[in-house]
Structure formats: C-alpha cells, structure tokens
Structure 1
Amino acid sequence: MTSLETEDHFRVVKLLGEGSYGKVMLVVHKKTGSPMALKFFQRSCTSLFSFLREYNMSLTFCSHPSLTRALGIAYLTPTHYVFAQQPGLHGDLYDIIVPEVGMEEGCVQKVVSQLCGALSHLHGLGFVHRDLKPENVFLCDAAGTWVKLGDFGMVRHTRTDTHTHTDTHTHTHTHTHTHTHTHTHTHTHTHAHREGSRVQEVWYSSAYCTPEAEVARRKEKEEEEEKGVGGGGGGGKEKQVWVSVDPGVDSWALGILTYALLTGALPWAETASDNPSYRRYRDWVSWSSCSSSSSSPVAPQFSCFTPPARSLFRALLDPRPRLRGRPGDALAFLGGEWLRGEERSRLEEERRRRRSSTGRKIMYAGEDKGDRGGRGSADLP
C-alpha cells in the first residue's frame, strides 16, 4: 500500500467525527477539487487485515445508493491507515434528533425507507451491518431526508457452505438376443448449510443491544461471582459466548432507531430482563402473540403510536430472534400514520417551540428515567 502525506494531496476542511478507531476528516482533493471524507485508522490498534476488510467492503459491495462507498483511494502514513469515501456533508442523524421531540414523521419514513433498502441490499449479499445507530447514518442534505448508511467496521458475513457430490451408477444388461445395453446414471446432490460467521457475543448497556446478547451478561456475572469466591485469582479461563451472525441484529437496531427518530427518546435504557421498561414491553409482545384480542395492554412507551406502527415495532423488536422481522418488512408500513393524532400535534407544537434547540445534545442512555407522557424517556444514544 502506498505511503503518502495527507497534506501533500488533500486540503483539510474540518473534523467530521472521531472515535476509538481514529477520526474522519472532510477534505478536498487538491488536484480534482472533489470533496471527500478521509477515514483514519490508528495503526497502533488496527490490523492491516481489519482495515482492508472494511475498505474492500465499502469499495466492492456498497453499490446501493443508500450506502456510503469508498472512492478507490487508500494509503498509509507513519501513524494511520487511511481510505477515502463519499462525504456526509451535513453530519449524521445524531446531529438533528431533538431530545424528547425527534423528527417529523414524514422525514422519518423517508429515512426508514432508505435504511430498509440499504440493509436489505447487504443482507441479500450475505452481510450483516451489526452497528446501525444514528452516528453511522450520514446526511446528504440539510433536511435529513437523504441519508446513507456507513461505517462497515463491524460488518460480518453469513456463510453458506455448499457441498456437492456426484454419484455415478453404471448398469449393464445382457438380453437373450445378445444385445448388451449399458446405462450410466449420474446423480448430483447439493446440500447447502447456512450459518453465520462466528463472533463473540457481547452485552452492553444500551437499547440497541439485542435480547439474545443477555446470555453474555449472565456469563460475565458468573465469572465475577467465581472470582469473588476464589479470592480473585485470575487463573480461570474466561467463559466466552460465540454466536452465528444473524440479520436479526440489524432488524432490532432499525426498530430502536425508528423509535428514537419518532420520539427523540429510547424505549428503554438497556435491553435487560431487570429493566422495568423493557420487561413491560416484552410482556406486551408475549401477551399480544398469545391473545386473539386486540385489546391486549399496550406497553406504556408505545401507546403514542397507531396500531399499524405498533405492529411494525413488534415485528422488528420481537425478543425472539427466530420470529423477528426483517428490515424489508417495514416497507409495508410506509405511507400510513405512525403517531396518534394527539401525540403528533404535541410534538409539532414542541418542535416549533424548540426549533433552535437542535445540535448534539443527546447523550448515551445511562439509566431509565421512568415513563413520562406514555413514553419511555431514556436519553437517546
């Protein structure tokens, strides 16, 4: 890979974002005048394999209009691996979600439609994004109606192993009229076994974490208890939980993100059995699936939504991975009303009042603040 000095070829405009991986800078190519985003990965904590995997993913597979794409420029500096990608000139979704207010419903549906397309495209190619959140959805216009999903560092593939074997059988028949017939039968058998790439399951304190990850949390607690009993001796082997990558993790994240866009809040602070808001939701889903009555008690934080929208959330946020819907299922709900009339009016009034209060004021959820106004009011991620 070519070694370059960034300043020799690009004019740096501003910092777009930074994280544990490194940073993203908005630059202009000095020779062509084209704006682009340079993504810098610290070489001290990023392997060349990981860098090339994300670069090739963005360059080769992200042909969908709602996915950010690499621009074919990759190089290294003494401290960083770098590649160029399409820039999000207007920031990301995190920048424009107003706390406790969210975004206008029509805008939300446009965003959800584009994300459905992007995720369905990746899933169709056998990939799972695994890190859908507001910070990874980049704005292509100031209104927030044109977006692109980016950041493919967590992407993994669902592996399809196809085994083909051929059986050839030759039969020779001799008839009394001295005619000999030889028949050869060839049978080809194809067996496809689909299993996701194996990754270590990690539970983290967020609504975006799936319910199935809680098994990793229990393992962590067991380890802590064992260390406590054993006097803290660190000689034991860590109990890691390995799971197959599944598209359902993207469905769950899309459901949480949709809720956040509509309300400016999260439905619960963390997806855990001991979280009251999540437990009420889980009980509601369980009750709804067992009851033929349409009058099953609605989880309080979902009472502001219309029945079709509640069906959408129950599909994307089904606690049971095997029954969870796919992102494309949300397309059937586009065009209808998602917020109930009184809630829509309340949010529109609040949005007018706080028109100037946009910006990055939303923090990661730390603890559940309880339900207010029929909605969970945990802070947004």
Structure 2
Amino acid sequence: MIEPGLADGSPIDEMMQLTAQSLNHLEIQEHFNIVKEIGRGKYAKVLLVTHTPMALKVMPKASTKLQGFLREYCISLHLSCHPCIVGLFGIAFQSNEHYCFAQELIIGKDLFAVIQPKLQVGIPESSVKRCVLQISSALEFIHSNGLVHRDVKPENILLLDTHCRQVKLADFGLAQKRGTLIRFITGTLPYMAPELCTVALLEGQTEVTAPPLRVEPSLDTWAFGVVIFCILTGFFPWDRCMDSDSFYQEFAEWCTMKERPDTEEDIPPLWKKFTPEAMEMFAKLLAMDAEKRCSVGEVGAYVEKDWLKKEHVNEQQQTAEKEKAS
C-alpha cells in the first residue's frame, strides 16, 4: 500500500486535476478499430488501434482507481517529451468499463523477448551498451523531475530495432514522486532492491514489521544494475534480495567485505565472466547501502571499457552462430 501524497501544486498534480475534469466518456469499439492486443500486464493491456497509428492502454475500472489512472497518465504525459521514453498523444478518456489513454505505437519487441534464457548468453555487449546509455538518460530525466519509475525491467524497455540503436522506456504504472512512503508490497521480483524486499508481504504473512520505505531514485539504480546483468548474461542474478536466496547472499557478502582482494576466488561464480571494471560498476549500482548507491548516469564512465571477459564474448558469439544455423 502506498500512502497518497497531498496535492502540492506540482505540474503532475495540476495535470491530474485538469484531466479529471475533462475526462470524456467514449466506448472503445465505437471510436477505434481494434486490430489486436499487443501487450498485457497485471493491471492493464495495450491495444493496437487504427484511429491513427497508436497504441491504446486500457485499464479495467474494476481493478483501477481513477486516481491511479490519472497519476500514470499525467506522469507519462509529463515525461514523454524525452526521446527515450514512450510518447503520448494527450488523449485520455473513459468507457463504461475502462480508463484509457493513447500512446506512441512501438513496432518491435521488448528487451525480454530478445534475451534467450535457455542459451543463457544474453545479447552482444555493444547492443547492451547502446541500450544502457539510452535508458540511463531516460532515468536521469525522470529523476530530475522528482519522480521514480519503480518498475525498471527488460519487459518495460521497448526496442525499435534488434540492435538497440533506439530503445524506449515504458510503463509508468508504478511511478511515484520521490519521498512517497511505501508501507508494504506483495511478493518480490528479481530486480527489486533489498530495502524494497524488507517491506514485502510474503506468502502466509499478514503484516510487515519493517518501517515504511521512502521512494528514492536508488530503487531505480538497483533495478538498472540487475537489468544490465540480465541482458549481458540472459538470466537474473537471483530470485529475490533476501537472505534465503543463496545467490543474492553470495553477492551481498562479496559487496560487504571490508578488504576485498582482487582475486578470482573472491568473486561469486555467476559474476566471474565480468571484467574488474564491470565489477566495479556493478558494485556501485548494486551497493547494499542505498545511500551509497551511485546515480544511473555514472554507467557512462564505464561504457568505453570491456564488461565481459574475452573468453565469454567468444562463447557468446559461438552460441549465437549455432542458434542462427539451427
């Protein structure tokens, strides 16, 4: 549960009030020709429609509060001027059963779709770096506007081409103002920061004993670090950031060692494919202490350096060539 923020006269608040006052009532089928469903999440779905080339995000009223819809629409509209964020058309309306808004149509796959988990090789490092620079720029812009995305994951990074020459960050359904308090969340996901996992209601639990968590950009920084690992390797580094996860525990112990010799034996097995420079980057992005975590923009200092060891790059190329041949 997230505590509702008081109206503070910010641009987002003003946009929400104006949108609520002018939200027209339309039936989707009467005004749009629905071609097909092109995406679906827990709270909404996205439709390809031919009114003009656009995507229509559709949220059922049964599971969506008007305030939540207005927040997502207005935050998305406010940020959509950035070239690496999905654009909006400024069209929002409601039908009998749904809240809807129109957004830029991206013909292409999301980042998760191009990762091949069975092969566990990720995508080429050059493509990863192009993607990372664009998403870090989008996140810096979001943070400079006093907002936190809170859902940075491969599924929300859309590709306009398969080589990541142009990518766009999508889905602001969980976005919040910096400083908003989170009392609890349900369940955990691999990209959630450890401090976020402390307020998770796990199966069988009825309450959380940890104090409320304040939303900060460091949550996005952690998720961004996990995404970089994921698209370089083809798999997540752990299931959840909790002591019960041995893969996370190994990494946490490596991070918190006071004196860490630079030897292969000290690096957790899943991380041995990375160069020392890449491990330095990950240590900053995935710092256990949220206050010591770097900003997302600091990855730019590492782009000119190798992230994968040469032997792993060769292995990745050989696996990709075999996949093409088959």
Shorter-chain TM-score range: 0.7 to 0.9
Query: Do the aligned residues in 2 keep the contact of 1:223 with 1:239 (CA within 8 Å)?
Result: no
Partner residue, 1:206 = 189
Deviation at 1:292, TM superposition (A): 6.3
- For each residue in 1:196-244, what CA deviation from the matched residue of structure 2 results, as whole angstroms up to 9, or x when unmatched? 1112243634321211134335x869956xxxxxxxxxxxx87574111
Partner residue, 2:5 = none
Partner residue, 2:121 = 101
- CA spacing shift, 1:113–1:239, aligned 2, 3 Å: same
Equivalent residue for 1:124, pick from 144, 155, 162? 144
CA distance in 2, matches of 1:4, 1:60: 23
Partner residue, 2:105 = 87
Partner residue, 1:363 = none
Query: Do the aligned residues in 2 keep the contact of 1:16 with 1:91 (CA within 8 Å)?
Result: no
Aligned with 1:354: secondary structure? helix
2:308 matched to 1:325?
Answer: no
Aligned with 2:81: secondary structure? coil
- For each residue in 1:52-106, what CA deviation from the matched residue of structure 2 results, as whole angstroms up to 9, or x when unmatched? 1111111123321111122111111111111001122102111111111211110
Query: Do the aligned residues in 2 keep the contact of 1:18 with 1:24 (CA within 8 Å)?
Result: yes
Q: How many residue pairs get matched?
A: 301
- CA spacing shift, 1:23–1:243, aligned 2, 3 Å: same
Unaligned residue ranges in structure 2 (runs of 5+): 1-22
Deviation at 1:10, TM superposition (A): 2.5
2:172 matched to 1:152?
Answer: yes
Partner residue, 1:52 = 70
Q: Cα RMSD between the aligned structures?
A: 2.1
Unaligned residue ranges in structure 1 (runs of 5+): 159-195, 225-236, 358-381
Query: Do the aligned residues in 2 keep the contact of 1:130 with 1:154 (CA within 8 Å)?
Result: yes
- For each residue in 1:148-187, what CA deviation from the matched residue of structure 2 results, as whole angstroms up to 9, or x when unmatched? 11111111112xxxxxxxxxxxxxxxxxxxxxxxxxxxxx
Equivalent residue for 2:323, pick from 354, 361, 372? 354
Q: Which amino acid aligns with 2:310?
A: G
Query: Do the aligned residues in 1 keep the contact of 2:187 with 2:203 (CA within 8 Å)?
Result: no
Partner residue, 2:57 = 39
Aligned with 1:68: secondary structure? coil
Instruction: Give the greater-gyration-radius structure (CA).
Output: 1
Query: Do the aligned residues in 2 keep the contact of 1:128 with 1:155 (CA within 8 Å)?
Result: yes
2:156 matched to 1:136?
Answer: yes
- CA spacing shift, 1:356–1:27, aligned 2, 3 Å: farther
- CA spacing shift, 1:203–1:74, aligned 2, 3 Å: closer
Partner residue, 1:4 = 26
Partner residue, 2:313 = 344
- CA spacing shift, 1:115–1:50, aligned 2, 3 Å: same
CA distance in 2, matches of 1:142, 1:49: 36
- CA spacing shift, 1:299–1:355, aligned 2, 3 Å: same
Q: Which amino acid aligns with 2:213?
A: V
Q: Which amino acid aligns with 1:215?
A: T
Partner residue, 2:42 = 20
Query: Do the aligned residues in 2 keep the contact of 1:136 with 1:150 (CA within 8 Å)?
Result: yes
Single out whichever of 308-317 and 144-153 deviates more from structure 2: 144-153
Partner residue, 2:213 = 243
Looking at secondary structure, tell me which structure has more strand per residue.
1
Aligned with 2:324: secondary structure? coil
- CA spacing shift, 1:220–1:347, aligned 2, 3 Å: closer
Aligned with 2:54: secondary structure? strand
Aligned with 2:56: secondary structure? strand
TM-score w.r.t. the length of structure 2 is 0.86
TM-score w.r.t. the length of structure 1 is 0.74
Partner residue, 1:263 = 233
Query: Do the aligned residues in 1 keep the contact of 2:187 with 2:202 (CA within 8 Å)?
Result: no
Aligned with 2:288: secondary structure? coil
Q: Which amino acid aligns with 1:304?
A: K
CA distance in 2, matches of 1:356, 1:67: 35
- CA spacing shift, 1:324–1:51, aligned 2, 3 Å: same
Partner residue, 2:279 = 310
Partner residue, 2:262 = 294
CA distance in 1, matches of 2:63, 2:168: 27
Aligned with 2:33: secondary structure? strand
Single out whichever of 273-282 and 10-19 deviates more from structure 2: 10-19
Aligned with 2:83: secondary structure? coil
CA distance in 2, matches of 1:281, 1:241: 25
CA distance in 2, matches of 1:37, 1:49: 22
